[in-house]
Amino acid sequence: MFKILKYSFYDLMRSSWSYVYFLFYLALGFVLLFLNNDVSKAVITLMNVIVVLTPLIGTIFGVMYYYNSREFTELLLAQPLKRSTIFIGQYLGVALSLSLSLIIGLGIPFLAYGLLQSNAIFNFTSLLLVGAFLTFIFVALAFNIALSHENKIKGFGYAILVWLFLAVIYDGLFLISLVMLQEYPLDKFSLIATMFNPIDLSRILVLLKLDISALLGYTGAVFQKFFGTNAGMLISFFVLLLWVILPALRIIYISKRKDF
């Protein structure tokens, strides 16, 4: 598996897209930090970008990589390798190279700004951690979709739809349900509903880290009570981990049954 990972990673690290992605984060980091001069404001803006952009890029890269390397995958399938080795190797290669672009791209401006001396370092690390998680989650979802659809256009369509659903539509439905059910106590419902969307979960994790949950009113207090504790943090990271592991297991499951 590590061999496949290594070569997928090399291949991607040399593609110009990885550099564009890296340079984008580098520029974003420098602009936000040095024009804003306020680390926590920069972190909030970055969070808003990361929470939407990393899933989108992960989805598109995942689907594109799978379809582009189809013939090469066939070559690998003819080698004495297990199918799970091939696909998990490729998946990790894509997810790792994207995560590295993110972490290094944002890490450099923050280091240059003198982050290590400020107390925002924990907020920043949790931001990067969440970004990496989202990348791993959405690349896995993209691989799942691409593996189940031979037709590239369909695969691309469904992948974008999943992103759109989790990034935009889910929040809309969530809000509508909150308005419609406002007579009932909704704190538990909203907590659970948050868990089912990795993007929402990541956003709330970062927001609560920033100590601005007071702005969120009563619900914010409930969330703070839950996520603010160590147990809450652990549970939410565990849920994020599940969001990575379950799609990854499904990659193995589908790939074992697929004809190439």
Partner 1 sequence: MIKIKNLHKKFGKVEVLKGLDLSIHSNTSSGGIVAVLGPNGSGKTTLIKSILGMVIPDKGEIKLQDKNILKKHQYRNNINYLPQIANFPSNLSVKELIKMVKDLRPKPTTDNNLIDLFGLLPFLDKKLGNLSGGTKQKVNILLTFMFDSELIILDEPTTGLDPISLLNLKKIILEEKQKGKTILITSHIMSFVEEMADEIVFLLDGKIYFKGTLVEIKQSTNQKDLEHAIAAILTTTNSKFN
Contacting positions for partner 1 (CB under 8 A): 3, 7-8, 10-12, 14-15, 69-72, 74-83, 257-260
Cβ proximity to partner 1, 225 vs 258, nearer residue: 258
Q: Report how far residue 63's alpha carbon sits from residue 54's, in angstroms, rounded to the nearest whole number.
A: 14
Pair 248, 77: CB distance under 8 Å? no
Pair 142, 58: CB distance under 8 Å? yes
CB 60 to partner 1: min, Å: 17
Q: Report how far residue 164's alpha carbon sits from residue 97's, in angstroms, rounded to the nearest whole number.
A: 23
CB 113 to partner 1: min, Å: 33
Q: Report how far residue 167's alpha carbon sits from residue 113's, in angstroms, rounded to the nearest whole number.
A: 31
CB 142 to partner 1: min, Å: 18
CB 256 to partner 1: min, Å: 8
Cβ proximity to partner 1, 185 vs 257, nearer residue: 257
Structure-block tokens of residue 74: 């066939």
Cβ proximity to partner 1, 238 vs 260, nearer residue: 260
CB 71 to partner 1: min, Å: 3
Structure-block tokens of residue 241: 């981990």
Cβ proximity to partner 1, 74 vs 211, nearer residue: 74
Cβ proximity to partner 1, 12 vs 28, nearer residue: 12
CB 83 to partner 1: min, Å: 8
Q: Report how far residue 181's alpha carbon sits from residue 185's, in angstroms, rounded to the nearest whole number.
A: 8
Structure-block tokens of residue 194: 């948050």
Query: Dihedral of the CA atoms 44, 46, 52, 56 (nearest 10)?
Result: -170
Cβ proximity to partner 1, 81 vs 233, nearer residue: 81
CB 146 to partner 1: min, Å: 16
Give the other-Cβ count within 10 Å of 211's Cβ.
12
Among the listed residues 135, 158, 143, the one whose alpha carbon sits nearest the alpha carbon of residue 252: 143
Cβ proximity to partner 1, 15 vs 177, nearer residue: 15
211: region left, alpha or beta (phi > 0 left; psi from -120 to 50 alpha): left
Among the listed residues 101, 98, 105, the one whose alpha carbon sits nearest the alpha carbon of residue 29: 105
